[in-house]
Structure 1
Amino acid sequence: MTIERKAPTGILGFPVAPFTNEGNIDEKVLEKNINFLVEEGLTSIFVACGAGEFQSINQKEYQKMVEIAVSTVNGKVPVYTGVGGNLSQALEQTELSAKLGADGYLVLPPYLIEGEQEGIFNYLKTVVNSTDLNAILYQRDNCIASLETVTKLAEYPQVVGVKDGAGNMELNMELIQNLGDRLEWVNGMPLAEVTMPAFYHIGFNSYSSAISNYIPHVSRLFFNALQNGDQQLLNDLYQDVIFPINNIRKQRKGYAVSLIKAGMDIVGLPVTDVVRPPVVPVEKEHYQQLEKILKGVMDKYPNDKKVTL
């Protein structure tokens, strides 16, 4: 089989890890979450990544989530997994991802240690070279690769993209000016719609959308408006949707994950608010604030595509 060396573009789907009230992975709900994203037009599925509480799932749960994603998507869009943590764990996950039929993986930061560029390069190179799957590098926290490091990694054909979760626009400009269309560029900032215009205009064609898990039609409206230069619609979406939700997200650490589950619950998707420590569930006051925002969103921006779950 010939692997297409191209990362997915557009709006990338990051399903959550739905837990039962007993704290187990709810396999049926994960399947519905993924189906919902695919039917709503997201261009790929990234399973067991940050939104999927990568840090809290064990290897058996990880395998089950990947199996469900691959079988549910069934080739409709690419499936990427999250791999990372300590190096031996990351390598187990890359091999498992290849065995289970994933198309690639997003390389998450190594555990805790902030290494020199030589160490970051060796970590990423080892992960990338462990299989023939496509790899997207994730610029975040203790794993920010410099221009020199990314340039060296781009020599490996498996490396197809860079996702930025740090927001260093000077570095992003250097990377794009030097590497251009050799890689795809993904905005991975928290609530990426907030910063997407800045990223889009320097060459980022993709982003991960937290709100797409519950209002994907708004994600589509936003991205279409950005691509078409519809500034009035963009302004309206910022005032009605993006800034209000982002203001709630910033109230508590961990809301980048738990607020997604709250939004899914509010719109009627079958997800509980159960999360694993250190993530905390959304407080009642913030849940009610999000509920009010989403009611206004559905009234003003009704979904023109009805999805049956």
Structure 2
Amino acid sequence: MIQVNLKGMGVALITPFKEDESIDFEALGKLIDFQINNGIDYLVVLGTTAETPTLSETEKKQIIQFAVERVNGRVPVVLGVGGNSTKSVVEKLKNDDFTGIDAILSVAPYYNKPTQEGIYQHFKAIAQATKLPIVLYNVPGRTGVNMTAETTLRLAREFDNVVAIKEASGNITQMDDIIKNKPKDFLVISGDDGITFPLITLGAVGVISVIGNAFPKEFSKMVRLALNGDYANALQIHHRFTELIDLLFVDGNPAGVKSILHVMGYIENRLRLPLVPTRITTFEKIRKILEELNVKY
């Protein structure tokens, strides 16, 4: 199996926008440095949290180039490359420039609601189209279909460059099944901040995090402690953030975490339609918790 170090905390990077909704590259650069300087293990660029469906192809290429240059090899960069047209994803993998990209994160095909065989064939085609390591992404709440443990394990066993899965099904039994029966070097990564701690205790290797955008130091410490078996101290940090994590997703992602980054002074509180900023009632609850966490703003 191809090796890439994706243990620990990866951050699903947001895309900051200016008041006119153009990309704020100055803010993006500061945010990347904030992540790396505070101990994250890798960055995920153009994932769901980046509002990628609202970005043009030109903007996506600009973000990739900017992020790779700004990171400058300090941490691995994982790029979101997925879709519900297998042919389109394969063509992108064959034709685009992936210089500076360490792995691909590819979501299960959404909206089409394929069978398990269809999901398998989709990822088979992707695995055969690139030599880059591939992280599968199972998030049935967004795609409309769950990739079963059986399908995940089938892909993990048959393709050397299918190296990990970001599991966001919310089904602990399914995740545990994958962990228990996976090939030795295949990685199970939490796709949900709220269950990262318990999933690590079962054998997951970390998280691709949303809250890490705002709290990279604290959340990466929690992940590191848990991975080192210091469950008591990791649990304390986990419990500090559970209520805030729930609030981040009340009005959709990344509205919640963008509101926090705004009050922290990193970005404008702007999203692209159809997403809108978090409601005032939700933000007041978020602000109360930020004050309890001694966040300066």
Shared fold per TM-score greater than 0.5? yes
- Alignment of 1:145 onto 2:147: yes
Please point out which of 57, 60, 72 is paired with 1:59.
57
4 and 182 in structure 1: CA distance in 2 versus 1, 3 angstrom threshold: closer
Please point out which of 164, 170, 175 is paired with 1:172.
175
> 2 CA distance for matches of 1:88 and 1:204?
31
Segment drifting more, 36-45 vs 213-222: 213-222
Matched residue, 1:268 = 265
Secondary structure, in 3 states, of the residue corresponding to 2:4? coil
Aligned-residue sequence identity (percent) comes to 24
Matched residue, 1:296 = 292
- Alignment of 1:217 onto 2:222: no
160 and 78 in structure 1: CA distance in 2 versus 1, 3 angstrom threshold: same
Please point out which of 28, 47, 50 is paired with 2:48.
50
- Alignment of 1:162 onto 2:165: yes
> 2 CA distance for matches of 1:24 and 1:88?
30
Indicate if the aligned counterparts of 1:14 and 1:52 stay in contact, CA closer than 8 A: yes
Q: How far is 1:45 from its partner?
A: 0.8
Give, as a single letter, the amino acid of the residue that structure 1 aligns with 2:148: S
35 and 92 in structure 1: CA distance in 2 versus 1, 3 angstrom threshold: farther
Give, as a single letter, the amino acid of the residue that structure 1 aligns with 2:262: D
Unaligned 5+ runs, structure 2: none
> 2 CA distance for matches of 1:140 and 1:232?
29
Matched residue, 1:83 = 81
Residues matched between the structures, number: 290
Unaligned 5+ runs, structure 1: 303-309
Q: How far is 1:92 from its partner?
A: 4.5
Q: How far is 1:96 from its partner?
A: 6.0
> 1 CA distance for matches of 2:176 and 2:280?
41
Indicate if the aligned counterparts of 1:225 and 1:233 stay in contact, CA closer than 8 A: yes
Matches within 5 A, 1:1-309: 5-85=3-83, 86-95=85-94, 98-141=97-140, 142-154=144-156, 155-189=158-192, 192=193, 194-226=194-226, 227-231=228-232, 234-235=235-236, 238=239, 241-252=240-251, 254=252, 256-269=253-266, 271-298=267-294
Indicate if the aligned counterparts of 1:94 and 1:105 stay in contact, CA closer than 8 A: no
95 and 53 in structure 1: CA distance in 2 versus 1, 3 angstrom threshold: farther
> 2 CA distance for matches of 1:180 and 1:35?
35
> 2 CA distance for matches of 1:7 and 1:117?
28
Indicate if the aligned counterparts of 1:121 and 1:149 stay in contact, CA closer than 8 A: yes
Secondary structure, in 3 states, of the residue corresponding to 1:17? coil
> 2 CA distance for matches of 1:218 and 1:45?
16
> 2 CA distance for matches of 1:164 and 1:87?
21
285 and 96 in structure 1: CA distance in 2 versus 1, 3 angstrom threshold: farther
> 2 CA distance for matches of 1:113 and 1:72?
36
> 1 CA distance for matches of 2:288 and 2:69?
36
Give, as a single letter, the amino acid of the residue that structure 1 aligns with 2:89: A
Matched residue, 1:306 = none
> 2 CA distance for matches of 1:122 and 1:138?
15
89 and 57 in structure 1: CA distance in 2 versus 1, 3 angstrom threshold: farther
Indicate if the aligned counterparts of 1:98 and 1:133 stay in contact, CA closer than 8 A: no
Q: How far is 1:98 from its partner?
A: 4.4
> 1 CA distance for matches of 2:8 and 2:186?
14
TM-score (norm 1): 0.85
Give, as a single letter, the amino acid of the residue that structure 1 aligns with 2:152: V
Secondary structure, in 3 states, of the residue corresponding to 1:162? strand
Secondary structure, in 3 states, of the residue corresponding to 1:288? helix
Indicate if the aligned counterparts of 1:95 and 1:131 stay in contact, CA closer than 8 A: yes
TM-score (norm 2): 0.89
> 2 CA distance for matches of 1:236 and 1:197?
10
Q: How far is 1:258 from its partner?
A: 1.0
